[in-house]
Amino acid sequence: MSLSLTVLGTASPHPGPGRPCSGYLVRGGGAEVWVDAGPGTFAELQRHTDPRRLTAIWISHLHADHSADLLAAVYAFAYGGMTPPVPVPVYAPGDCPRRLAGFLGRPDVRFLDGILEFRPLHDGHTVRHRDLRLTSRAVVHDTEAYGLRAECQGSVLAYSGDSGPCEALSELARDADLFLCEADIDAHREGEQRVHLTPEDAGACAKGARELLVTHVGPTLTREAAAGRAALVFGGRTTAAREGDTVSL
């Protein structure tokens, strides 16, 4: 199977009608990985695959707009008749299982042992599922956060997660066929920590990639404006991610 990306959600910082928060389905080499689990994305995931078929779940960071639908998955897997044949690996920052257990009022996550298997991310974390290789890089945000590089049979997809400008993003994007990159904010405020990207930042970080797909556009921008501004800096094909779209690399 060739590498493909299906957009489940793009909204920031909250879902809107017909527009869930960040979430994507990455498929390649016989593997299917749910990348980020923003609110509303578990329902959209079911439009494109049976969640019991998931090979893995990968979470860039634990802000709710990227992770809250893990709760929906827990209820589906544990109580909704969607129990996977084997526990699904969840690659996420190390505090993920404790937060899930706390939200559900449990002392620990042993009650999830039959459905989810938590594996903490770190900078340079690499794992292979069938012919799909996933490499995570730590990026700059106001919490522990990672970007992703997915490789399959010579095709490369890079994903920024949520990040401010940093060298790790450029490294992830280098020689990628597609760079899926956030463009959350209109401008940086003077003196404020840079934990998100402007469209111009996204275009600059994407310089080594063949194509840029802008996502996670915040309420001060439109998707069209963000893609247009990013394209002026990137200089290559630039489009805005939309729910339901599938890109084959």
> pLDDT of 165-205, one tens digit each?
999 999 999 999 999 999 999 999 888 889 999 999 999 99
Q: What is the CA radius of gyration of the chain?
A: 17
Q: For strands 132-138 and 146-152, give the pairing.
A: antiparallel
**Helices then strands (H, E): number in the chain?**
7, 14
**Chain CA centroid to CA 210, Å:** 19
- When pLDDT is averaged across residues 9-24 and rounded to a whole number, the result is 97
pTM: 0.97
- Residues 6+ positions from 86 with CB-CB distance below 8 Å: none
Residue 1 has pLDDT above 80, yes or no: no
Q: Return d(Cα 2, Cα 26) in angstroms, integer.
A: 10
Q: What are phi and psi of 44, to 5 degrees?
A: -65, -35
Residue 75 has pLDDT above 80, yes or no: yes
**Residue 191 has what pLDDT?**
81
